[in-house]
């Protein structure tokens, strides 16, 4: 997060609420972070804490009954929230692309995978049919698919999970975006394949210079490729820091809990301590600090909402007790 130059993406006080029959669910409630060019930011948290909704909000694809009710999403100096749907559509896939968790269902079952990559090329780069086909084969090659010409005419059900995710990444990168939103891109894959996909993302970032917003609940994945981390809990950022200080000195009790519940590969005999309870449903978030029901440090002061404050340069925490 350098000074002087504006960040590629600035999310400021983003609020996305779901207006359900049981009441208003503030799934994303005042989330802020910056992302520089070439930076990889890990967005971390349990299921239901608002990670995916944050990414969908950036693309303005929040499903009904959700609505972005406040904040700004500034991409290259321009707030995306007020622009027209048509302008937004042209940005999707071309400047900001997204890769989803489930590669199996994210590909159209009745179109060949190659034609789906080619479609993005004709759409965003104005290529003709033949050029698009040739370039699509190149895209498949670039994401490490062996025999890309042969794979071009294949349907999704004939490919492995890892290959399908590579195709999804090829589609996302076909429009040469400068920002990739990767929503749990490795969760549905085998562990060995996970590592390959992470390596691929790392390599593509170096080659293309795009920034990546990596959404995951897996701190191991973050450690592998992220530069900075934002920890999300119940729709709010509770801690934000570059990756090293965060791993060395996690401050927020929730972040500490996440690390404690991580199995240690070296197996030092350290017990795995789960965080008690689960994220409450968004219609019933507690007032004040939303983690206080589950927090070992909870005190009376926690009934007041904590603000993000800096505890060391670049390391922000929203907790009264730190």
Partner 1 sequence: MIDRAGRRALRGGLVAIGVLAGLALLGPALAPHDPREHVGFPANSLRPPGGDFLLGTDFYARDILSRLLAGTPVSLGIGFASAALSVTLGTLLGAVAGYRGGLLDAAVLRLVDLLLAFPRLVLLLLLVAFFQRSIPLVVLVIGATGWMATARIVRAEVQSLRARPFVEAGRALGLSDRRLLFRHVLPNCAGPIFVSASLSVAAGILLEASLSFLGLGVPPPAPSWGGMLNEGRDFLRQAPWISTFPGLMILGAVAAFQILGNGMRRALGGARRIAP
> Whose structure tokens read 């350290």?
270
223 neighbors 65 (Cβ within 8 angstroms) = no
Q: Which is nearer to partner 1, 3 or 110 (CB)?
A: 110
- Smallest distance from partner 1 to CB 111, Å: 7
Closer of 58 and 74 to partner 1 (Cβ): 58
**CB contact at 8 A, 171 and 88:** no
Asked if 228 contacts 41 with a C-beta cutoff of 8 angstroms, the reply is: yes
Residue that is written with structure tokens 């086909």 in the block = 133
Report the residue number, 21 or 85, with the smaller CB distance to partner 1: 85
Q: How far, in Å, CA of 27 to CA of 192, rounded?
A: 33
Contact positions vs partner 1 (CB under 8 A) = 59, 61, 89-94, 97-98, 100, 102, 105-111, 119-120, 123-124, 168, 171-172, 175, 181
How near is the Cβ of 100 to partner 1 at its closest, in Å? 6
- Minimum Å gap between C-beta 51 and partner 1 is 15
Minimum distance, C-beta of residue 40 to partner 1, in the bound complex (Å)? 19
Burial of 186 (0-12, 13-18, 19+ CB in 10 A): buried
Closest CA to 204 of 163, 159, 166: 166
Distance CA 281, CA 278 (A): 9
Considering the complex, what minimum distance in angstroms separates the CB of residue 98 from partner 1?
A: 4
Q: Closer to partner 1 at the Cβ: 172 or 234?
A: 172
Nearer to partner 1, 124 or 133 (CB): 124
| Cβ-based nearer residue to partner 1, 119 or 131 | 119
- Sheet containing strand 78-79, strands side by side: 23-35, 9-20, 66-75, 78-79
**CB 181 to partner 1: min, Å:** 8
DSSP type of residue 292 = G
């Amino acid at each position: 997060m350098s000074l002087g130059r504006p960040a590629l993406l600035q999310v400021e006080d983003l609020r996305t609420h779901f207006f359900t029959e049981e009441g208003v669910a503030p799934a994303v409630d005042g989330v802020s972070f910056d992302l520089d060019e070439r930076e990889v930011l890990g967005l971390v948290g349990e299921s239901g804490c608002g990670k995916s909704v944050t990414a969908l909000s950036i693309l303005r694809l929040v499903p009904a009954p959700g609505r972005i009710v406040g904040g700004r999403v500034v991409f290259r100096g321009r707030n995306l929230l007020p622009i027209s749907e048509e302008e937004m559509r042209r940005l999707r896939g071309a400047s900001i692309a997204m890769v989803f968790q489930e590669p199996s269902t994210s590909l159209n079952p009745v179109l060949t995978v190659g034609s789906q990559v080619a479609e993005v090329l004709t759409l965003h780069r104005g290529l003709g049919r033949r050029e698009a086909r040739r370039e699509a084969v190149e895209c498949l090659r670039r994401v490490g698919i062996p025999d890309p010409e042969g794979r071009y005419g294949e349907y999704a059900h004939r490919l492995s999970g890892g290959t399908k995710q590579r195709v999804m990444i090829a589609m996302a990168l076909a429009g040469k975006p400068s920002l990739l939103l990767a929503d749990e891109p490795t969760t549905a894959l085998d562990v060995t394949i996970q590592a390959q996909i992470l390596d691929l993302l790392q390599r593509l970032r170096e080659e293309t210079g795009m920034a990546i917003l990596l959404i995951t609940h897996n701190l191991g994945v973050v450690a592998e490729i992220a530069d900075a981390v934002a920890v999300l809990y119940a729709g709010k950022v509770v801690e934000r820091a570059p990756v090293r200080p965060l791993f060395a000195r996690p401050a927020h009790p929730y972040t500490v809990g996440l690390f404690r519940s991580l199995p240690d590969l070296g197996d030092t005999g350290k017990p795995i301590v789960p965080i008690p309870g689960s994220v409450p449903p968004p219609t019933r978030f507690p007032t004040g600090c939303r983690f206080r029901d589950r927090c070992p440090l909870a005190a009376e002061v926690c009934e007041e909402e904590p603000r993000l404050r800096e505890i060391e340069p670049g390391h922000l925490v929203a907790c009264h007790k730190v």
